[in-house]
Structures are given as structure tokens and as C-alpha cells.
Amino acid sequence: MSPLAKEVIEKLSNEEDTEILAEVLDFYEYMKYKKHKKIWNNIQEDDPDDTEKAICEQYQREEQELVGFNDLVQELGLDE
């Protein structure tokens, strides 16, 4: 833990004014939201290429048998 984090935690643990603590929590939520939004804004999606499209189309064409959870547990021998 960084020295700054230790200092902040120590000061907040000794703080008795609930309004100050509420303001700190509000500010923390604001900063967390701001950083989260910044991260998501930096993600750039691209269009799928021909290979990705072909893989998706093949997956959709294939008929796959669904295996129930209980059957899977029995098959793996986890029911004992």
C-alpha cells in the first residue's frame, strides 16, 4: 500500500464528522465513475472480418445437442 493511501486511510479512520466522510465517499464514487467511463470511451470496436463471420455462421448452422446439468455431473462422476 502506498504511503498516500495509508495516510488517507488513517485520517479517515480518525474522522468523526459524518458529513466529511459522506463527501469523501461521494467524491470517491465520482472518481470511480469518471475513470470507468474513460476506460469504456477508449475501447474501439471493429467490424468482424470474413473469418469471424464464417466462424459465427458455421456455429449457427451446427446443431448441437444440449447436455443437461445433471447429466454433466453424472458423466464427470461428480455426483458421488
pLDDT of 30: 93
pLDDT of 61: 87
- How many Cα atoms occupy the beta-carbon half-sphere of 12 within 13 Å? 14
Average pLDDT, the chain: 87
List, as one string, the DSSP characters of the chain.
--HHHHHHHHHHHH---HHHHHHHHHHHHHHHHHHHHHHHHT-------HHHHHHHHHHHHS------HHHHHHHTT---
pLDDT in tens, the chain (80 residues): 899 989 988 988 998 889 999 999 999 999 999 988 888 888 877 888 999 999 989 888 887 777 788 888 888 888 77
8 A C-beta contact, residue 54 and residue 48 = no
